[in-house]
Structure 1
Amino acid sequence: MGALKQFTRKKNAFFRSIKFALINRRYRHRGERKPFEPQSVKRILLLRLDDKIGDMVVTTGCAKALADNGYQVSVLTGPLCKQMLSAADYLHGVHLYRPRMSLKALQEAQFDAVIDFDDVNTYERFKLLSELNIGCVVGFNKARYKLFDQSISFLDESQHISVRYQQVLKLFGIKESEYRYFVAGNPQEREKVAALLATEPMPTTFVAINPFTGSEDKDFSREQVVSIIEHLHAQPRPVKAVLIGQSEKIKQLAIGNALFLPESTINSAVEIVRLVDLVITPDTSIVHIARALDKPLIAVYNQRKLKDTGLPGYKIWAPNYQNASQIICETDFISAMPVDDLLQSINQRVASLYPPAA
Structure 2
Amino acid sequence: MALSTFDRGVWRSTKRLYSLARRVRFAFTRTQRATPETIGQVDRILLIRTDKIGDAIISTAFFKALRDHFPNAQIDIVLGRKNAAAASLLPHLDGVFIARKNLIEQARLIRQLRERNYDVVIDMLTGDSMTAAAYAVLAGARLKIGFDDDGTGLYDVPVPRAREPEHQAVQMLRLIAPLKLMLEPEDIHPAIVFSQSAARAVRERLFPEEKDERKLIVVNLSVDPARYWDDEKFIRLVSDLKSPSVRVVLISAPWDLARLEAIGKASEAEWLPPSADISETVATVSCADLVISPDTSIVHIAAARGKPVVALMPNTTIKEWYPFGVPHRALHCATRVADIPYDEVLAAVRELLAGLDSAQPVPSTDKVVS
The answer to whether residue 305 in structure 2 is matched with residue 293 in structure 1 is yes
- Which of 264, 270, 275 is residue 258 of structure 1 equivalent to? 270
What is the aligned partner in structure 2 of residue 329 from structure 1? Answer: 333
Instruction: Give the one of 181, 190, 204 matched to 1:195.
Output: 204
Aligned partner letter, 2:300: H
| Separation of aligned partners in 2, 1:355 and 1:64 | 32
TM-score by length of 1: 0.82
- Counterparts of 1:13 and 1:174, CA distance in 2: 32
Where 2:346 maps in the other structure, the secondary structure is helix
2:96 counterpart residue number: 94
1:118 Cα offset (Å): 1.5
Distance in 2, matches of 1:283 and 1:246, equals 11
Kindly provide the CA deviation profile for residues 98-147 of structure 1, in whole angstroms up to 9, marking residues without a partner as x.
13220222111111111111244455444433332221111102543322
SS at match of 1:294: coil
Shift of 1:296: 1.5
Q: Secondary structure at the match of 1:137?
A: strand
Asked if residue 315 in structure 1 is aligned to residue 295 in structure 2, the reply is no
Distance of 2:5 and 2:298 partners within structure 1: 36
C-alpha contact (below 8 Å) 1:196/1:259 kept by paired residues: no
Conserved? CA contact 1:193–1:261, under 8 Å: no
Q: In the aligned structure 2, how far is the partner of 1:117 from the partner of 1:204?
A: 41
1:99-178 correspondence to structure 2 within 5 Å: 99=101, 100=103, 101=106, 102=108, 103-176=110-183, 178=187
Q: Are 2:296 and 1:284 equivalent residues in the alignment?
A: yes
Give RMSD over aligned pairs: 3.1
Greater Cα shift, 121-130 or 239-248: 121-130
CA distance in 1, matches of 2:180, 2:296: 31
Between the aligned partners of 2:14 and 2:158, the Cα distance in structure 1 is: 22
Rounded Cα–Cα distance in structure 2 between residues aligned with 1:263 and 1:123: 33
Does structure 1 residue 46 correspond to structure 2 residue 47?
Answer: yes
Which secondary structure does the structure 2 equivalent of 1:314 belong to? helix
Deviation at 1:49, TM superposition (A): 1.4
Deviation at 1:169, TM superposition (A): 2.4
- CA distance 1:131–1:169, shift in 2 (3 Å): closer
| Unaligned residue ranges in structure 2 (runs of 5+) | 27-31, 360-370
Contact conserved, 2:144 with 2:157, CA < 8 A, in 1? yes
Letter in 1 for 2:289: D
Q: How many residues align?
A: 335
Find the aligned partners of 2:275 and 2:6 in 1 and give their Cα distance.
41
Q: 1:84 aligns with which of 58, 83, 86?
A: 86
Counterpart of 1:174 in 2: which secondary structure?
Answer: coil
SS of residue matched to 2:59 = helix
1:26 and 2:28 equivalent? no
1:27 aligned counterpart, secondary structure: helix
Match of 2:351 among 324, 348, 352: 348
The CA distance in 2 between the partners of 1:334 and 1:78, in whole Å, is: 26
1:298-337 Cα shifts (integer Å, max 9, x gaps):
1222312xxxxxxxx211222242422222334x111122
Query: How do 1:165-244 residues align onto structure 2 when only pairs under 5 Å count?
Result: 165-176=172-183, 178-199=187-208, 202-214=212-224, 216-233=225-242, 235=243, 237-244=244-251
Change (3 A) 1:119 1:76: same
Q: Distance in 2 between matches of 1:141 and 1:14?
A: 15
Q: Cα deviation per residue 1:168-206 (whole Å; 9 max; x = unaligned)?
A: 222211233511112011222212211221158722321
Q: 1:218 to 1:12 in 2, by over 3 A?
A: closer
One-letter amino acid of the structure 1 residue matched with residue 345 of structure 2: L
1:308 corresponding residue in structure 2: none
Answer with 347-356 or 240-249: which moved more. 347-356
Cα deviation for residue 261 of structure 1 reads 2.9
Q: Percent identity?
A: 25
Tell me, in whole angstroms, the C-alpha distance in 2 between the residues paired with 1:62 and 1:292: 13
CA distance in 2, matches of 1:53, 1:151: 25
- CA deviations on 1:22-62 (whole Å, 9 max, x unpaired) are 54553353658554327442211100112x11100111111
Query: Does the 8 A contact of 2:18 with 2:153 survive in 1?
Result: no
Structure 1 residue runs without a partner (length 5+):
1-8, 305-312
Task: Give 1:346's aligned amino acid.
Answer: V
Counterpart Cα distance in 2 of 1:14 and 1:323: 41
